[in-house]
Amino acid sequence: MLKTFHIGGVHPNDNKITADAPIEVFPILDKVYISMAQHLGAPATPVVAKGDKVKVGDVIGEPAGFISGYVHASVSGTVTAVEPMKDLAGKLVMHVVIAVEGDEWRPEIDRSSDIVRDIKLSKEEILDKIKLSGIVGLGGATFPTHVKLSPPPGKKAEFLILNGAECEPYVTADDRIMREQSEQIFIGGKIMLKALGIERGFVGIEENKKAAIAQMKETGKKYPELEVIILKKKYPQGGEKQLIEAITGRRVPSLGLPIDVGVVVQNVGTALAVYEAIQKNKPLVESVVTVTGQCISQQRNLSLRVGTSFSQILDAIGGIPKDAAKFISGGPMMGKAVSNIDASVLKGTSAFLMLTEEQTKRKEEINCVRCAKCIEACPMGLEPWLLNKLSRARRYDDLEKEKIYDCIECGCCLYTCPSNIPLLDIIRISKAEVTRIMRSRPKK
């Protein structure tokens, strides 16, 4: 029997249209717009000024706090502006704009395709280098990787889980890297095991990625410390808490972190980035992005430089598709709607999805009929209909009792609701309010 999580979940059509399209290197264009908010936490502080010459791999932003990260130049050329620009949602964020001149990389970066298997660095050196290479979690949350690999005092990791579930429909970036660079992923995983000082890990892959599973199992023979686990196709199989339960049977407590049950989860893309940073001295300056949606003719997987704008990608695929009505950065279940197509690709961007009005339009909301489908769908065992009702009445005390803070915002409730009630929209707002109230309480 395939492993899976045990509460809730939905089965959207997976639409992995680009699964068989190899990763293509996207040409370097005239300009890149690199955001300083590439990671969760405080945006980086720019350390270059207009007119500076940079090479690929040069640091252009430094961390502005504990939860923050380095940002590197993804192209070589001249900095033409350091200024606030709109991100994909229209929020102003500091950006560094670089006009491209050639493609000159820092000399220490090894760009050959030779696989370096020997891990020479010590635990501390690894963590330090991961930090200096600006590596963030590429599974969606973009949490700085070195922080996640340094468990807080008193907490001990037992297992590492590499997340190759890729349960979001449409997205095939992880599928492709597992097929094309499986050994690098395993070495990246081994490096992370070393950084954590542990011996054992797993790679979880959803059953719908047959070729990736075959490739990873084959390569995995050489890496017995990382066991490949095939998971049932069910959304949100790649959710951190769900993945941990599926593979280890452990459940992360409310308001807790994976480390509370002795687990560290890292995306397979992050493992690849760690490999490149440690073994090839290459900071995180590229991103594999699935460009997809039934309305576009040229659906593909692209490897592109961080800072390439969505509009530049659109130009390259022949302009805005006629029927496109919604642009999404990421998958259709948890991705963000793009309101500003001049915004740029971040380290953590996994897909650029275009949906037609027919595919994405929300239907008219009608009364809740208590069909309980949201309860059946919620992977955290919550009652979305009730959270919606309590939220509309602003009953925050009751919402806290109903554990609204457990919500992982996976969207199963809204996806499933036959009455088209915007359950998650409303839950998200009151969840933020409840967590704020909880934080404001004096600590015991």
Partner 1 sequence: MKKFIVSPAPHIHSEFETRKLMRDVLIALTPSLLVSIYFFGFSAIKLVLIGAGACVLVEYLIQKYLLHSKITINDYSAAVTGVLLALNLPPNSPWWLILIGSIVAIGVAKMTFGGLGQNVFNPALVGRVFLLISFPVLMTDWTIPESWFRPGVDAITGPTPLSIVKEGLASGLSMGEIFQQNNFSWGEMLFIKMGGSVGEISALALILGFIYLLIKRVIRPHIPVAIVLTIVVLTSIFHLISPEQFTGPMFNILTGGVLLGSIFMATDYVTSPMNPVGMVIYGVGIGLITVLIRYFGAYPEGISFAILIMNSVVPLINKACKPKRFAKEVK
Q: Could you tell me the smallest distance in angstroms from the CB atom of residue 155 to partner 1?
A: 11
Identity of the residue, 396 or 415, whose beta carbon is nearer to partner 1 in the bound complex: 415
Identity of the residue, 228 or 346, whose beta carbon is nearer to partner 1 in the bound complex: 346
Query: Distance (Å, rounded) from C-alpha 264 to C-alpha 129?
Result: 19
Phi-psi region of 298 (alpha: psi -120 to 50; beta: other; left: phi over 0): beta
Reported residue count of the chain is 444
Identity of the residue, 303 or 419, whose beta carbon is nearer to partner 1 in the bound complex: 419
What type of residue sits at position 410?
C
Name which of 94, 81, 85, 93 is nearest 52 in CA terms: 81
Identity of the residue, 113 or 367, whose beta carbon is nearer to partner 1 in the bound complex: 367
Helical (H) or strand (E) element with 424: helix 423-440
- Contact predicate 17/64, CB 8 Å: no
Beta strand 336-337 with 324-329 is: antiparallel
Q: Could you tell me the smallest distance in angstroms from the CB atom of residue 367 to partner 1?
A: 4
The terminus-to-terminus CA distance of the chain in angstroms comes to 45
Question: What are 324's two structure tokens?
Answer: 């496109």
Q: Could you tell me the smallest distance in angstroms from the CB atom of residue 231 to partner 1?
A: 17
Q: Could you tell me the smallest distance in angstroms from the CB atom of residue 3 to partner 1?
A: 16
Identity of the residue, 158 or 409, whose beta carbon is nearer to partner 1 in the bound complex: 409
Q: Could you tell me the smallest distance in angstroms from the CB atom of residue 206 to partner 1?
A: 18
Q: Where are the alpha helices (DSSP H) in 310-422?
A: 310-316, 357-360, 373-377, 384-392, 396-401, 412-416
Contact set with partner 1 (CB under 8 A): 7, 10, 12, 169, 241, 245, 251-256, 260, 320, 324-328, 330, 332-339, 353, 355, 357, 359-363, 366-373, 375-376, 378-383, 385, 403, 406, 409, 411, 414-420, 424-425, 428
Q: Could you tell me the smallest distance in angstroms from the CB atom of residue 411 to partner 1?
A: 3
Beta strand 59-62 with 92-100 is: unpaired
Identity of the residue, 98 or 334, whose beta carbon is nearer to partner 1 in the bound complex: 334
